[in-house]
Each structure stands twice: as C-alpha cells, then as structure tokens.
Amino acid sequence: MNYPNGRKNGDLYKQKKLYSHQFGNRGMSLEKDINDTNAYYLEAKKAVIHKKPTPVQIVKVNYPKRSAAVITEAYFKQASTTDYNGVYREKYIDFEAKETKNKTLFPLANIHDHQVDHMQAVVAQGGITFLLIRFSVLDETYLFPAERLFTHWDAHLKGDKKSIAYKTIKQQGYFIPFQYKARVDYLTIIDKLYF
C-alpha cells in the first residue's frame, strides 16, 4: 500500500526505526546536538548563537580540476578562544563544549590557559560564559558556570587536582535533560541563573 506522498507502508516503519536508532545514540556528538539546538533557537527567534570558525592559514592547495581544489597543508593562525558565542536577551553568550568518556571526572587538561583567560575577560565585561560538559558514557550533559570553573582552575595552577570530580560537576553544575527540538536546552538554565 502506498501513501499519497508516494511512500510505501514499510518506509514509515524504517523511518521510525532510523529515528529510534538516532535517539539511542544521542551521546555520540555534543557538538552536533549543540548545533541542532542553536539552529532551533535561531528558527524560533530565541537567540543568535553560532559555532566560531577556527582561524586557519592555508599554505598549499592542489587543483586536480578547476572545480575540485584540495587543501594539502594548513596551519592554525592563532589559538582559538571558545567554541560558541552569540546574543540572548541582549546579553553576550560565550561557551566551550567538552565531551569526555571518563565516568568519574572531567580532566582540566581539556581546557587551555587562553580559553580560561578569554572566559575571565567575558565575565569582566558582564557577559555570560560557561562550559557544556558531556559525560558520554553516562549520557549526561551539564552546564558548568565559568565562575565555578575559575575556582577549580586556580587550585589546579597551584598544584591541586588536575580534574573536577563528576560528583562536583553534578553538585555545582546544572543537568541538561535531552529534548527533541532543543536537544541541549542550555538557555532554560541561563534563564534561571541570570534573568
């Protein structure tokens, strides 16, 4: 039996099966989930937040055909700051997204000095900045405010722990439940914390 749109009855079943498979593997890419969430925010006219491009200096390009250029050598121009930035409710938003397979801690080696410096500058100017941390094995995502990160970072620089315990992130951070449209709905938490 065919539906009016030309699909066969079995196609609908395959589509549902494909969707359930995708939903089951939702922990595979935090970046993809954030990009989908940001696209939803933009479409709903809620916020304008985008992934920052990494500045790259292209050195060599091969042109096997005019229409098919291939970059064969490139270098990062400078250290990038954080992954995402934009505007929400007239406030500047800036954040870094990190995913770890570790179940018990988040290694601070995942963050760089220049990123923390950048986040401190954002806070000093009245902007909102934070980490989105996904424990992929646990399939849990947390918003961790930058101000709380700074405390752990400063202790780390003084020779203290080189990581933040999962239980600490659970206590000091904010769990973000997975949703259909806004997969990583961090703005709901931003509303509670800052507005």
Binding positions for Mg(2+) are: 81, 83, 96, 115
What residues have CB less than 8 Å from 11, skipping those under 6 apart?
A: none
Give 105-136 as a DSSP string.
EEEGGGS-HHHHHHHHHHHHTT-EEEEEEEET
List residues forming the annotated binding site. Answer: 81, 83, 96, 115
Q: Compute the distance between CA of residue 153 and CA of residue 160 in angstroms, rounded to an integer.
A: 9
Phi, psi of 7 (to 5 degrees): -75, 145
| Residue carrying the six token digits 């409710």 | 89
Sign (positive or negative) of CA dihedral 41, 43, 47, 48? positive
Q: Compute the distance between CA of residue 96 and CA of residue 34 in angstroms, rounded to an integer.
A: 11
Select from 23, 29, 34 the least CA-distant residue to 132: 34
Q: Compute the distance between CA of residue 192 and CA of residue 173 in angstroms, rounded to an integer.
A: 13
